[in-house]
Structure 1
Amino acid sequence: MARKQKNRHVSPSRNILSGVLFGIGLMALIDEIIFHQLLQWHHFYDLSTPFIGILSDGLLNAFALFAVVAGLFMFADIHRRHIAHMRTWTASFFLGLGGFQVFDGIVNHKLLQIHQVRYGVEVLPYDLAWNISGLILLTIGTILFFQAKRRLSLNEGG
């Protein structure tokens, strides 16, 4: 018979990892489904043949699905153990969303140049929209994270 565990000191690391993984995976799926498949603006890797481009999209989908499932399994575990802290988890979720977006926009689009947001148009407005939306998500995550941290420290001290 399983014993119900008491609400122990909330260790934020599992909450953070779960939220970040879920956020990264969800944003990768949104990117893949909308921009790669529905709009067909680009593939994850556009520097080769169409076959390789589609293969790279499949690998990105597999990674995204793994991240979503792993994040949700971890969330179920911390919830079952009564160590879930929703403010920390939500902050981490937003950090994962924005982190994927900014990483993709800066590293993949500009530094590695493995694909652009869109081809055949002036790319600057697309780059700005892509990266600014990612920065907004990161800002939301950062604000929520500091609020959660402050709330946890108040609960521990009082």
Structure 2
Amino acid sequence: MSSTSTPTPTATRWPALLLGVAIGGFFDGILLHQILQWHHLLSNVDAVRDMRTQVLADGLFHALMYLIAAGALVALWRRRRVLDAPGVGRSLWAQALIGFGLWHVVDALLSHWITGIHRIRVDSPDPLLWDLAWFAVFGVLPMVLGWLAVRRGDTGSSAGGRRAATALAFAAVVAGPVAALPTGDGDQVMVLFAPGVSPVAAFDALARVDARVRWVDRSGGLWAVSMKEPRAAWRLYGSGALLVSNSAVALGCFSWSKAL
């Protein structure tokens, strides 16, 4: 008498959960760090004043999300035969919702309240209100919805597993390139100069490309400028620039930064 194992939705639990965590991290970074610019990862760390370090920390955060997403996608691919089992589609969405909410719960507990390295809105007169609202809407609510979906059981058709896996993989893969897109603000260019480039040398380099200074951080390394010809900004790499936001090698949160 022989027996065969029947694939169950539980085989995809951890890959889906980790995909949800990664998507939650990308969502946080893209919306809060870049589009709304409510905080950086280390906004409330007094010892970190250099914008280079702030940008580096945000970049490392996104790199961690890439690693989590990549590991989850590899694990899901290895379990691809399970995707045709009944109920897998619902299970994938449920676990991804739980992971999405879990990221925001962990971020609130560790980053907002225990270590205090940032708050949802660091410039708010009542940051706790924003923290609690974000915690409830993007943390607790998705986890509850995912838990309720899991409680409904694993019944369902076998058609939704591959569609759900494809949609989640697409969301995770696309989130990275979206994070690296520049703002589309044709007038403003953010320029990050390498350590060792003096403010005078940086100013001279910007003057040579007809850039008008709008803002400079206290370290003298990060400059927000206006340019009539933003396409000429690539020439700044020859004068010690590490990153230029409107150029092809601009990255992540730096591309979305704006002068206040």
Q: TM-score band, normalised by the shorter chain? A: 0.7 to 0.9
Q: Residue 155 of structure 1 corresponds to which residue in structure 2?
A: none
Q: Is contact 1:117-1:126 (8 Å) kept?
A: yes
Within 5 Å, give how 1:15-94 maps onto structure 2. Answer: 15-46=12-43, 47=45, 48-49=48-49, 50-82=51-83, 85-94=88-97
Q: Residue 113 of structure 1 corresponds to which residue in structure 2?
A: 116
User: For 1:53-107, what per-residue CA distance to the aligned partner results, in whole angstroms no more than 9, with x for missing partners?
Assistant: 2111111101112222322232233223556622222211011000001111122
The structure with the greater share of residues assigned to strand is: 2
What secondary structure sits across from 2:79 in the alignment?
helix
Q: Residue 205 of structure 2 corresponds to which residue in structure 1?
A: none
Structure with the bigger RCO (C-alpha within 8 Å, sep 6+) is 1
For structure 2, the 5+ residue unaligned runs are 157-260
Shift of 1:7: 7.5
What secondary structure sits across from 1:113 in the alignment?
coil
Residue 74 of structure 1 aligns with an amino acid whose one-letter code is: A
The number of aligned residues is 145
Report percent identity of matched pairs: 25
TM-score calculated relative to the size of structure 1: 0.81
The structure with the greater share of residues assigned to helix is: 1
The alignment's C-alpha RMSD in Å is 2.2
For structure 1, the 5+ residue unaligned runs are 1-5, 153-158
Residues 79, 63 of structure 1: alpha-carbon distance in 2 compared, 3 angstrom cutoff: same
Separation in 2 of the partners of 1:97 and 1:11? 19
Does residue 140 in structure 1 map to residue 145 in structure 2? Answer: yes
